[in-house]
Amino acid sequence: MFLLYSPRLWCWCVAVSGLVIVGKLAGAAIPALLAGPTLRERTAVCVLMNTRGLVGLVILNSGLELGEFTPTLIAMV
């Protein structure tokens, strides 16, 4: 079953993915900047926060089971 079947859905996919990545990077960069570590350490924090997705997957799966999210949205994320 192919869930992203139209160019419009692919555009939404890119937009949602970009928003998630920017949000995670900003959410990690701002506190790291205020804490005062070196640029290398701040970059490491941002990259590791961006790759940490297990909690997000659990939330998405729960939302899917509750009917809050559609399978198409899950495929985008």
pLDDT tens digits for range 27-51: 888 888 888 888 888 888 878 877 7
Residue 69 falls inside a structural domain: yes
For 10, the 3-state DSSP assignment is helix
> How far is 10 from 28, CA to CA, in rounded Å?
27
Residue 7 falls inside a structural domain: no
Residue 76 falls inside a structural domain: yes
* Contact in structure between 10 and 75 (CB atoms under 8 Å): no
Residue 64 falls inside a structural domain: yes
Q: With cut-offs at 50, 70 and 90, classify the pLDDT of residue 52.
A: low
Residue 73 falls inside a structural domain: yes
Q: Residue 15: its pLDDT value, please?
A: 92
Record the pTM. Answer: 0.54
Residue 29 falls inside a structural domain: no
Q: Which domain holds residue 55?
A: 47-77
Structural domain count, the chain: 1
Q: Residue 54: its pLDDT value, please?
A: 65
Q: Residue 72: its pLDDT value, please?
A: 83
Residue 23 falls inside a structural domain: no
Residue 62 falls inside a structural domain: yes
Residues 6 or more apart whose Cβ sits within 8 Å of residue 25: 46, 49, 50
**What value does the mean pLDDT of the chain take?**
82
